Amino acid sequence: MQGTTAGLWLAVFASGLYHGVNPGMGWPLAVSAGLMGRGRKDLVGALAPLASGHLLAMLVILLPFALIVALLDWQREIRIGASCLVIAFGVFRAVNKRHPRALARIRPTQLALWSFTIAVAHGAGLLLLPIYLGLCATGELDAAHQASSILMARNLATAVLVSLVHALAMVTAGGVIALLVYAWFGLRFLSRSWFNLDLTWAASLILIGAVGLITA
């Protein structure tokens, strides 16, 4: 059981690193802030709103499920439904590669709002759902004998902790890449080495959803 829990937490952290490496999650905006502002100080300063927006997107998805999981009699059905939702969204992202036009209307200075919107639009929070629900299941063998209020508090705390760990990993990975591009690689690296992980992201959603479905 401890191995399962450790593996799930590792998945939370690894998915955060994955999101951070993806340029679509905003690290090029941090590079831009550094180049057009006061250097590394503005680059590092841009990471905070990017992280806060991403964190909020995680919480918006996970907190409602933290409340629902308190309904122990329906936990298996909830996990199956969540996994199917993640798979469906992954298929949608694989088929529909167009980005919502609303994203283009957000000013570059509104980094927290941009980060929140892009994370929601890409299903970043949904990617964590099967992992989060698996974490809840590993710690609730005796939950039937506990008060629902205690169980609900634990699930809410887990949801917040999952979101924090994921967002920290995301901003760390993105921040390191942004600093490397700013200090050494330069903008030429972006023009020559730009990579798009949209299809890989869609495949990840489907894979995580399938794993959640099997383990449910």
pLDDT 10s digits, 63-114: 888 777 655 567 788 788 888 998 999 898 888 867 666 666 667 668 888 8
pTM: 0.72
| Residue pLDDT, tens place only, 3-12 | 677 888 888 8
In this structure, what token pair is assigned to residue 49?
């709103």
Is the CB of residue 51 less than 8 Å from the CB of residue 169? no
Phi first, then psi: what are they for 196, rounded to 5°? -115, 125
The mean pLDDT value of the chain amounts to 80
Integer CA distances (angstroms), 187 to 14, 34, 35, 50, in order: 27, 12, 10, 20
The structure tokens listed for 73 are: 């009699």
- The pLDDT score that the predictor gives to residue 107 is 72
User: Phi, psi at residue 142, to the nearest 5°?
Assistant: -110, 20
Sign of the alpha-carbon dihedral angle for 37, 43, 47, 50: positive
* pLDDT value of residue 146: 44
> What are the residue boundaries of the structural domains of the chain, listed by start?
2-215
